[in-house]
Structure 1
Amino acid sequence: MKKLFALILSIVMILTLMTACSSDDTSTKPTATPTTAAPAPSSGGDETPLYTPGEDGLIKSAFGGVSVTKPGELPIVKEPVTLTILHVKHENVEDYDNNKMTKFMEEQTGVNIEWVLVPSQDASQRVNLLLSTQVDLPDIFMIPSGLTNEVISDMADQGVFLRLDDMIEHLAYWYAERREQDPLIEQMMKLPDGHEYSLPKVVLSEPNSMSRRAWINQKWLDNLGLKTPTTTDELIEVLRAFKNDDPNGNGKADEIAFMGSTTGWAAYPEEYILNSFLKYSRGTPYYIDKGKFEACYDKDAYREGLKYMHQLCAIEGLLDPASYTQENSQLQQLFDNEEIALVGLATGGGTFIWAPMDGERVREYAPLAPLKGPQGVQYTYYDPFGSYYPNEFVITKACKNPEVAFRFADYMYSREVSMRNRLGEPGVDYLIPEEGAMGIDGKPATYIPVLPWGKINSSHWNEIGPTYNDFDNNGVKGDDPYELQQYLWNATEKYYAPYKPPIEMCYNNKMFFTAEDARRLSEINTDLQSYVRNSLAEFVTGVRDPFDDAQWQAYLDELKALNYEEYISIVQARLDAEGNN
């Protein structure tokens, strides 16, 4: 039965195809033909140390492929080499062959790119088939947000994906600089066997790492002569006034005190509220306490948070229960109501998901900092690992020139190429600022955007592939405080960054496990995650009562039946092993 279950799950192997703020990095093992592990790189039988330049200045391949130039030297090869790259076509990239980024990379490296483009709707099936049969493998998988960790572990065990340790040590130049600059990369990239098999994409963004924000109608506060709430108790008083005292002044009882949605960016209310009771994340409801892996959802503090939200929603009607059923478009219609504001407090990554930034409605709202809870807890939602996508670039055993493929990826970590991959051609798609211009992040600016992000183009690869973006908020600072990047940066730094928990408390849900452990975690999490989320909505909206001890005990008993303790023990063992390395 277990084998049948694994086979069925293999057909729907998870590929994370969109850039998200938080996700569970698990999937199911694809059915694959056993194969002998790929041999480790060899120095070729002579006494020359691995990857030592010869008299001609070239570095001999340890796999019998084409020699490459020294690390950091371009072009990579003396004669053109073709690499096949399997890539999921992005809707914003019009043409990959006649693409400025493609042409630039080919000219600079001496590599001819042969694209194997897969439509996004067919990606999971196509990749699963390739890995299962191991026939017609590309040289490289370069997939948006990467293959899952479980697939990497499984295919590494079978020798389908090449071990990169020696190439990282001896051939990396720009990637080596990034690893020295950011030690978190090396920490995140090692599998349980201590080796590395993939290359990451890194897009650092303070606003994205603290995206679960709340926005309060400042105009309503002013109309009612109220101060901005700073505690959970004060919020209740404000929301009661929003509901009952006609803050929009139209003489109608049409105000919605507090609302979220199920599909908007970071729009679930609990990711804002529950952080006043304990460190909480909906996507990864776990934290680390002095090295111990803990679940949020079985704690007394979590129950107290549910009681508070139950009071807001089920008892007093301050939090609209539609928050747990409606899509963001429905909240958007209410928020940006043509006649007058109807929503007092909304949770989401930014007001732009409900109203245009150049309109008047967003100017009525201000960020609401995390609230201090009854026990003094006051955390910002914080995911320091969400900026790292570990498996963006993988070299397969079919690649005849692995060193060329690695050096190609290494070059993509240079600042110039990383900026091209995000912004396009310098001087055309983005401009270089004058000396002394300051960026949104308060550092000397490095670019002035011209090509709007999200526009269909043939200038870049939509930031897919190996890259290190530490310049996302470093565009020239303008005069408009409602310019989106400026707006989110200011809100994050002033209202949320002061309350982020220490990184030691944050669980890295992108950690690698053995293929066997990853499969078991996925099996448990399938039902466990659904149960925890559904139970939360039921406790908040009144289907269940968190004040009732019997109902709470029944909830805890079901958690045990769903093997949440086994889930915790598997992760704890991996953390312990990581700490001992």
Structure 2
Amino acid sequence: MKKSVKVLGTTLMVLTAAVTLAACGSKSGASKEDKNTISLISPDHSDVHPKNKDLWMWKQYQKKTGVTVNWEQVKDWDNKKQLILSRKTLPDGFYQTGWSNEELTKYGSQGLFKPLEKLIPKYAPNLAKLMEDDPSVAKAITSSDGHIYSLPYMSTDPLGGGRNFKLYINKNWLKKLNLKKPTNTTELANVLEQFVTKDPNGNGKADEQGFYMDSGQFGAFELMIKAAFGFNTAGRTAMENNFYIDDNDQLQYIFTDDKMKQVWEYEAELYKKGLIAKTAFSGMDYDKWVADAAKDKVGLFAWVGSDFIGASSMNNYEPIAILNGPDGKNGSLVTQSGVMGTSAFIITKEADEAKTKKMLKWVDYFYSKEGSDFGYFGKEGVTYNVDKNGNKVYVKKILDYPKGAQLGAYQYVDNVYAGFFPYLEVEEKLKSISKGLQPEVFTDDPLNHMPKQVLPGLQGTVEEANKLSTIQTDMNNYVDQARVKFVTGKWDIDKQWDAYKTQLKKIGVDEWVKIRRAQYKRYESE
């Protein structure tokens, strides 16, 4: 009996030792795996895109780098990000997720997001070179506390990457009516009037529209008109944030400026004459608009590219990049900063020093020419071929994709749709050629009509963000309501203008201007 107990005891000791060794081996394996594995959260675009873990591009990049990514993809990101931040354990990083500059500062100062400014020069040399070549990049991504908590989404092409809005005018109608492409707001009104009165589509019906888009897309058109009236002194992002910089280098709020009154008077006159579609603010969805375009009913729309109107109609339109005011002056390219997004790649507190360096090296590839091309075109012989002119053109299975070449490419590579990736965008004309399209031809020399400066989004402190949040929401809501009423004629702009400005003062426009001026002053002094 004692012998049996001894044997059993020996057996247990051997088993225990084996388990211990196995556990040690497992721990060693896990450490090796952890060293070459990163966890990232990104938005879920699986309605039009394979899951990231299944995407050809990411499989190829894993082979190239030896780094495995554990992807967690989240739908409805904006409504879920605060819940994700409250988790006990965060991912190593956030990829292509949207955070405001103020949120980056807030969570960075709380220690949730890692400061990266000291590591970028050594471990992200491609991005460091872009920052060296253009000092505004560092200004754009440096938080108000002096730290860089996120890497940018970038483009060095002012005409590319979705950076610039243009008007797109029906070139067939211009030819039919023997009209020249308009260069200023007066000429534009005259052309639109002939579009809606002279049956340029030739069907014998008065079904032609002047400016016509799906409801809710009026903003791009108004940016072009605002630029024509002199508001585009600091670029598209400034106008979208409701300010411009005057001749004395002073930041001014757009929507109380008397030039804005002129903009709305101009738009109201177009609307009154039926040159802006009556569905401009409600009642028209995207699919119906695209269908009407296919029936040749659309005279003018505004967007970053003509393909927005649908593949069957896009070639009927040519761009107007520069629109002058009624005096023939002030027109400039409605483009935004090369830093198109500041929250493209964030490393969290969960990543140790070694993993942080690895992640920076991993993502920095996409700020190089080689990485940029890989992220957009893929690999020669697999996703693209090189034509006789040396240009990359997607393979037939992508070009013939039922939903278009852009979404066709999106089945293989990442940086072709949705945007806000930690990447350097490919030059726009090369993107067009890759999809079998002719690059846009401009007759108004847009690159020689740049704004005086092109500001990125201004960095604010957490305190400033708290003060602005309520003021800005209330101001924007009031301006949106006023725009509809002024343009559609429900409010008489001459009689209501002073009352409108008084209401904005009550909401807090003076405090808003004070805060924004402080942010602009900081930007200039950096």
Residue 340 of structure 2 is matched in structure 1 by 388
Residue 513 of structure 1 is matched in structure 2 by 460
Residue 449 of structure 1 is matched in structure 2 by 394
CA contact (8 A) 1:528 1:559 kept: yes
Residue 424 of structure 2 is matched in structure 1 by 468
For 1:120-167, what per-residue CA distance to the aligned partner results, in whole angstroms no more than 9, with x for missing partners? Answer: 13x34543123235x1111111134x4222221111111111111221
1:179 correspondence with 2:128: no
* Count of aligned residue pairs for this structure pair: 474
- Partner-residue secondary structure (3-state), 1:459: coil
Q: Structure 2: give runs of 5+ residues left out of the alignment.
A: 1-31, 399-404
Matches within 5 A, 1:93-492: 93-115=49-71, 117-121=72-76, 123-133=77-87, 135-144=88-97, 146-205=98-157, 206-208=159-161, 211-263=164-216, 268-279=220-231, 283-289=240-246, 290-314=248-272, 316-325=273-282, 326-337=284-295, 341-357=296-312, 364-368=316-320, 370-385=322-337, 388-400=340-352, 401-432=355-386, 437=389, 445=391, 447-450=392-395, 451=398, 452-455=405-408, 459-462=412-415, 465-474=421-430, 477=433, 484=437, 486-487=438-439, 489-490=440-441
1:552 correspondence with 2:508: no
- Partner-residue secondary structure (3-state), 1:141: strand
Q: Which has the larger radius of gyration?
A: 2
Distance 1:327-1:230 versus aligned 2 partners, 3 A rule: same
CA contact (8 A) 1:267 1:348 kept: no
CA displacement at 1:472 relative to structure 2: 4.4
Distance 1:321-1:268 versus aligned 2 partners, 3 A rule: farther
- Partner-residue secondary structure (3-state), 1:527: helix
CA contact (8 A) 1:172 1:410 kept: yes
What TM-score, normalized by structure 1, do the two folds share? 0.73
The one-letter code of the counterpart of 1:409 is: V
CA displacement at 1:471 relative to structure 2: 3.7
* CA distance, structure 1, for counterparts of residue 123 and residue 338 of structure 2: 28
For 1:28-47, what per-residue CA distance to the aligned partner results, in whole angstroms no more than 9, with x for missing partners? Answer: xxxxxxxxxxxxxxxxxxxx
For 1:441-481, what per-residue CA distance to the aligned partner results, in whole angstroms no more than 9, with x for missing partners? Answer: xxxx4x22234432376633446743222444335859xxx
Distance 1:99-1:371 versus aligned 2 partners, 3 A rule: closer
What TM-score, normalized by structure 2, do the two folds share? 0.80
Distance 1:379-1:284 versus aligned 2 partners, 3 A rule: farther
1:83 correspondence with 2:38: yes
CA displacement at 1:554 relative to structure 2: 0.8
CA displacement at 1:210 relative to structure 2: 5.9
Residue 26 of structure 1 is matched in structure 2 by none
Residue 21 of structure 1 is matched in structure 2 by none
Q: Structure 1: give runs of 5+ residues left out of the alignment.
A: 1-76, 439-444
Residue 71 of structure 1 is matched in structure 2 by none
Residue 570 of structure 1 is matched in structure 2 by 515
CA contact (8 A) 2:224 2:334 kept: no
For 1:354-392, what per-residue CA distance to the aligned partner results, in whole angstroms no more than 9, with x for missing partners? Answer: 3434xxx55554434544323443424523227522111
* CA distance, structure 2, for counterparts of residue 298 and residue 84 of structure 1: 47
- Partner-residue secondary structure (3-state), 1:192: coil
* CA distance, structure 2, for counterparts of residue 97 and residue 221 of structure 1: 49
CA contact (8 A) 1:216 1:367 kept: yes
Identity among equivalent positions (%) equals 27
CA contact (8 A) 1:93 1:456 kept: no
* CA distance, structure 1, for counterparts of residue 314 and residue 125 of structure 2: 45
The one-letter code of the counterpart of 2:116 is: L
* CA distance, structure 1, for counterparts of residue 431 and residue 319 of structure 2: 22
* CA distance, structure 1, for counterparts of residue 346 and residue 40 of structure 2: 10
CA contact (8 A) 2:162 2:305 kept: no
* CA distance, structure 2, for counterparts of residue 219 and residue 301 of structure 1: 33
For 1:508-551, what per-residue CA distance to the aligned partner results, in whole angstroms no more than 9, with x for missing partners? Answer: 22x321122123223222121122122112111111122x2x30
CA displacement at 1:499 relative to structure 2: 6.7
RMSD: 3.2
CA displacement at 1:567 relative to structure 2: 1.3
Residue 57 of structure 1 is matched in structure 2 by none
CA displacement at 1:267 relative to structure 2: 6.8
* CA distance, structure 2, for counterparts of residue 226 and residue 350 of structure 1: 23
Larger helix proportion of the pair: 2
CA displacement at 1:322 relative to structure 2: 1.5
* CA distance, structure 1, for counterparts of residue 323 and residue 210 of structure 2: 17
- Partner-residue secondary structure (3-state), 2:68: strand
Q: 1:494 aligned to 434, 440, 443, which one?
A: 443
For 1:318-362, what per-residue CA distance to the aligned partner results, in whole angstroms no more than 9, with x for missing partners? Answer: 32221122233333333222xxx33433334444333434xxx55
- Partner-residue secondary structure (3-state), 1:431: strand
